[in-house]
Structure 1
């Protein structure tokens, strides 16, 4: 690494919001992004926040915004989480939550960043085994950084979102999707 914290491109910009559908539609109207794939109550096999297993009931909307994916995420339960670290459950505040990066090894990158003073905020595993982790870079960057490996299920979804944006601008603005 050449003295920079990250030597890879940002793949996604994500915002914490109250309602993923409303936020996606507003972003589409303002910026021409999307269409957006909406996943309600994303199923997780496990989620550990700050070393404690906790429920993380969330929904998300994913759309293309130029060269980057944009995500809107809301949390349905008041449990502590990487979302509520920046936006308390009772605060009514919303905004930029994280930027996401592809890394070869999530746990190795979490360890590298931890050694630099950026602690792991949350590590979650989806039912299909897909892992994503939020590293707390908020003191330096003002937001979290999400890490995940570019496995085929993820890169295929990124490709689908980008292709839909190129080919289906006149189609529906919101497309429901279910993750297993």
Structure 2
């Protein structure tokens, strides 16, 4: 079994992040979305080299699943450009939390899903390690392996609670960062 933990998130590459947020709100009742423009992380490697990607992210819940929307602003090599080389849009990855990061990372590689991107030291937005593996031939996209930690669990719980009490009108896109 490739993924042996609950999928917590589905992520999509989009051309216009605000337009995509409104689409998800209007069509699916998702939101509110928490928008991180031009996300910066302390250490991010794409195919073993420092990443030069410039991307914004918006995260919100749709029922019990987290939805992440990603807009890349430059043409730097990235896993987003791997999937959509001409700046297209659509499904990109699914994510699960793990308390066995090294084990799950190795297991994915052994199952033919090479690591494409890694993120370390995320500070206030997570604090754990992240590995993205290329599973396009198995699931139609990438898989994000997210090291479980209290910071990200609290963020997800807060976003979910806000989704549950939100009136679907007030502050649909909220800037954070």
Alignment TM-score, normalising by the size of structure 2: 0.92
Deviation of 1:67 (Å): 1.1
Determine if the alignment matches structure 1 residue 119 to structure 2 residue 114: yes
Q: Please name the residue that 2:21 is paired with.
A: 24
Residue 47 in structure 1 maps to residue 44 in structure 2: yes
2:176 aligned residue: 177
Unaligned runs of 5+ residues in structure 1 are: none
CA distance in 2, matches of 1:117, 1:174: 38
| Separation in structure 2 between the aligned mates of residue 108 and residue 77 of structure 1, nearest angstrom | 33
Distance 1:78 1:126 in 2: 24
RMSD of the alignment, in Å?
Answer: 1.4
Q: Quick one: structure 1 residues 80 and 153, their matched pair in 2 at CA, closer, same or farther if it must change by over 3 Å?
A: same
- Runs ≥4 residues deviating over 4 A: none
Shift of residue 107, structure 1, vs aligned partner: 3.1
SS of alignment partner, residue 44 of structure 1:
coil
Distance 2:114 2:122 in 1: 25
**Alignment: residue pair count:** 173
Normalising by structure 1, we get a TM-score of: 0.90
Q: Does 1:15 align with 2:12?
A: yes
